[in-house]
Structure 1
Amino acid sequence: MVIPVDLKRREREILKILLEGPTTTERIASLLGVSRRTVLRGLPELSEKLKSLGINLVKKAGTGVSLEGRKDSMEKLECLIERPSKRVEMTPDERQQLIILSLLEQKGPRKLYTFAREFNVTDATISNDLDKIEEILSRYGIKLLRRPGLGVWIEGHEKNIRALVTELFYENFDEAQLVRLIKDNLRCEIISGRGVRAQVKDRLLGLIDRNLVEEIEHALKEVVEESGLHLADSAYAGLLVHIALALERLKSGEIITMDEPFLANFKNTKEFDLARRLGSKLEAAFGISIPEGELGYITMHLLGAKLRMGDNLDELFLLDHRDAAQAAREILKEAGRELKKDLLEDGRVLEDLALHLKPALVRLKLGMEIRNPLLSQIKESYPRLMQVAGRAARLLEKRFGVTVPESEIGYIAMHIGAALEHGGGAERAGVVLVCPSGIGSARMLASRIKKELPELEVLEVVSALDLEKALEKHPDAEAVISTVPMEVSKAPVLLVSPLLNDDDVEKIRAYFRARRLKERESSGVVTGRGRPEERRELVFEILEEFVIEEVDADNLEELLDVLVEKIRKKPGITSAGRIKQDLYSREIKAGTAVPGLGLSVLHARTGGVEKPFLGLFRLKKSLKMKNMDGDTEEVKACLVMLLSPRPSPGEIEVMGRISAGLVEDPTLAGVLKSGSGEDVIKALLRILK
């Protein structure tokens, strides 16, 4: 019997108190330095967890709260709670976020010493944290009040507090994660891994009642489908988070208001009618009253959302399409002048930018934030385009009287990039793109695919929520290229970065190369080094020196040291140092872990080998590595593939088949991580046959 891994810190503290004997919720609240209401809110969830351990949480009038269960269950519970846990290092930023969340959870003052005890630091450290927190809160118009002898608490308008909470969500969950949470109704593995960051996410999600999310999504879906409105995944996720947070705040008696003249303008829009219908469904579902001010903010979300191309934007937005089109034309003309290229020759790019600018300008006029989850990648990969877009964006500021933030400049840079990368080519294999971040990123991804992979035809760009419909519409699609992890039965999914880096291109090429080879073999057309007898010879040459080893490492550098030491005396290895250097350079350039598989494909073309090398190294304890999607992956095994700087087409093809096999064969990753040596060889031969 074990305590569930999601047992929270406060729940552990409550259990420690209750193991001493029955007590009141007032005493628990006093000992923990929280409100009685906070304790009461947490007891139902704690009770459910205890039931799985055979222990009941009992509340009796006059006695208070107590634990009831068999003696052995109680002893094991006590032992497990008291067992010291491995200390996790916490950064000041993480500690400050947790303090902010504590202040949001509790209305009344909290003593400094309770924070110092909770985080095992000095009062002076907490005081310094509060100085930083005060700066953060001031950006949202929220005050941090500090009174000696009384404690610290926050005060601010409901609108500003919600803006802070929303920003915390986007700091800890990217849009792709929010879409996945929604698709799974927050029932699946919400937080992967442990540690402080997981604790921050768990506390943040604790601000929303997860049991209500499904009902909210049901009401939202009904209204969206009835109206024929199409929301991008990012807009849909943002709206759902807003509504869930709003209902929690309303249940706690926190009412949001909107200036009457502002609200009066919204009442004339179709979006306000949609918000009213949605409000009625939510009122019926949850038995609460939703004020007009709340409907006004839902309307703002609908008006400010990026709508997918093909919707009737003229009716839905307050900005005339001709103004947006003229602004887009001026931006592309100005950028083209600086880049010395005509960017207006592609009418599709002009229309895409206009479609993007309409909702973006509405958001800026309404004072809503524009988030760009790709901003850091764009700034790093395309600094020149960011400079050009920044200067071109001044035209928007002059024309519309708004301040264009860096996040929006990033989107404009993507559209300029799409215009630069426009090009045609012979397109053969049909693919469907899934990209939840809006038209700009989707179009740039499509443009890069057309430029780097002209043999592909982009059949349609859709959201994750509409993928099934798109595959029904395009039954001949050979693959789905997605920027978010997902599983579909009708086509293989190739996961790529929204900016389509070099490794993504190579991965896609490897997949279609292997697919075409299979098609040629089935029709009896095989040429060159790819002929069965010659390819078999090469496969056996590689597998003859194939190694499977178990290794131990605490970080990437240790892992590479261990790997090169294991292979330095193998045939064909000429420089272990060069191999380590090239593998390290490749790893820091972009992650090599395959998202969701717990497997890393460490690969490089290196002067350290004179012939192909293939090895499998299983880790005694999992290691956190960056994956191909930019996130962190718990890696349990590493497949090492090395080629010389000028490999033959046949060598590239064999290694490419293995990479493609990780996508095509759902069983391969499991065999590589835990199968016997014989099973691994059989699996590789099956893929390479």
Structure 2
Amino acid sequence: MNTRQQYLLKELISEQKPITGDQLAKMIQVTSRTIRNDLKEIDRLLTTEDAGASIHSVRGQGYQLDVHNEDKFKYFIRTVVEIDETVPVEPEDRVQYLVKKFLLSSEYLKIDQLADELFVSRSTLQNDLKDVKVILEKYQLQLAKRPNYGLKLTGKEKQIRYAISELLLRRTTVTTDEPHQQGWLLPAEQMEVIHAIVLKRLKAVQLNLSDIALNNLVVHIAIACRRIRSEQYVELVNQDEADIRNKKEYQVAQLIIEDIEKALDITFPTVEISYVAMHLLGTKLFLNKNGTDMRNSFDKEILLTVQQMVQRVEEQMQFGILDDQELHAAIAIHLKPAIHRYKHHMNIRNPMLEAIKVNYPIAFEAGVIASQVIEEAFKIEVDENEIGYIALHFGAAIERAKLQTKPKRCLIVCTTGLGSSQLLLYKMRAKFGNQLTIIGATELHNLSQYDEDTIDFIVSTVPLPDTIQIPHVVISTLLGGSELAKIEEMVDSNTHSIIDRYLDQELVYLNLDLKTPQQVIEFLGQELMNKGYAKAGIIESVMAREKAASTSYGNLVAIPHPLEAKSDRTFWTLATLAEPIDWQGHPVQFVCLLHVADENKEGLEPMYKSLIRFVDDRHIIEEVLAVNDVNSVMKIIKKM
């Protein structure tokens, strides 16, 4: 079973309902015929191996995996699938395999031997090597060629280690319970030993690391061990690194290394101790001090930068977090080692990045805005991994601000008697709890007795006169599911319909024949300017935002948007593409260009909730991609 077929099997495992061949073809950008052939081969293998499962074709709906023996199927996955993964089939997997091979080898590797190992021709391998060289050049590494010997990785040792950490570990998450997962780096028992030693020494001096930071440090030490055994040593390149020896972190690193030397029978040169100390300095350390002492431990430049980060986010997004001292302290703690990492070109991995982008888009936008301040202050380029961590701090602050927000005040208008109005009142209290303050229930003719300033919105069982300016929604006393959704929108945003408010039919474009993200952004930006929706500069602003962090979120969807407002209104622009395009590593066929105006940022969260709920629904996206007229698109979206 090749890599593509394994991907198809994983998709079928994760689907509760049948999925069409066209859907699968779009996900991995192959033809429907290839999908049919692959699925036949997978089904044949499941039958041959007695795997306890089979693939069924459901007429008119697609393909579905039927598992009738869980134990047999799990055994099949553990044995057949994992064993075959060792020999990559697809070009991108071969490139990853070759990158790993060169990074972990200190010897020359012959092209013919590599071709035989991968079961490909010499010419195919040479094509793959072109991509390998491009990847390695990003880390200032090269492949040196020597006649009759082959190819060998060359470059500074520190860059090789950074590349190992970034390129080989970014696809996996090491947890405190499972450091052995990196067994290809060192034997599992040695990874366990390093993990235990680091944890013991850090606890002895009361330095507490997050789980991710702890395991990043363990992995870096493991990389050092492997490289030292190949007699590859890191070098100090400037006085700043030499000064590390005067810091407390150097003493901790020295104790860690002494223990590892004894346990693993390996000798670390002095320079390697400095290398480990650098990673301690570049790791988020929570000192056991009170808040006042912690603030005093930061220099004024860090504190000023944090203040500017929070101010800029508040100016653009209006969260009410300007005076959140917990936020200021958290970012300061994060920022100090982050600046050190960037100063020494040390990478950081964020295994939660995609989840943060999809599930906390507002906080991620705050992270993007805040990262611009860091770039301006320290003349560095902040990557997506760092932005994701910064976003978590802003997400926590946003939630704290919500706790201080007063609940919406609602008045119930009911004409069918006290019993009906009380039933409605109790139903709403049970549903919304402290999200909503119900100030009472009244008849329509007594509505004038209430002060408009004390009411945020009205829930009524009868239509209200046009003279009523207070936001309101009309429902039945029974309060069904769709009516609850209407009230939820009122609780969140005081609007009747998120879709009607933010999406105009004239801003829906279908089946565009565009090939790159830049072409899509330029087309939509020009359309918005031509129709008077946005001012000049929107294209450049959207491209600048895309450069900061990709807005492709999976599920064939991208949501590009400008860094700053280019209009006085908030709106969506929808576009479908004739074929999926590559959007910074993700296939994209559905694009929503989002514009948020300055003056209505208070409606940002419910709008984002509706948008994310919409684009995260694979079946809705597939429906939209399948139609050719705007009216059908609007019906599908509103049906959501």
* Smaller-chain TM-score bracket: 0.3 to 0.5
Asked which structure has the greater RCO (Cα within 8 Å, sep 6+), the reply is 2
TM-score, length of structure 2 as denominator length: 0.46
TM-score, length of structure 1 as denominator length: 0.43
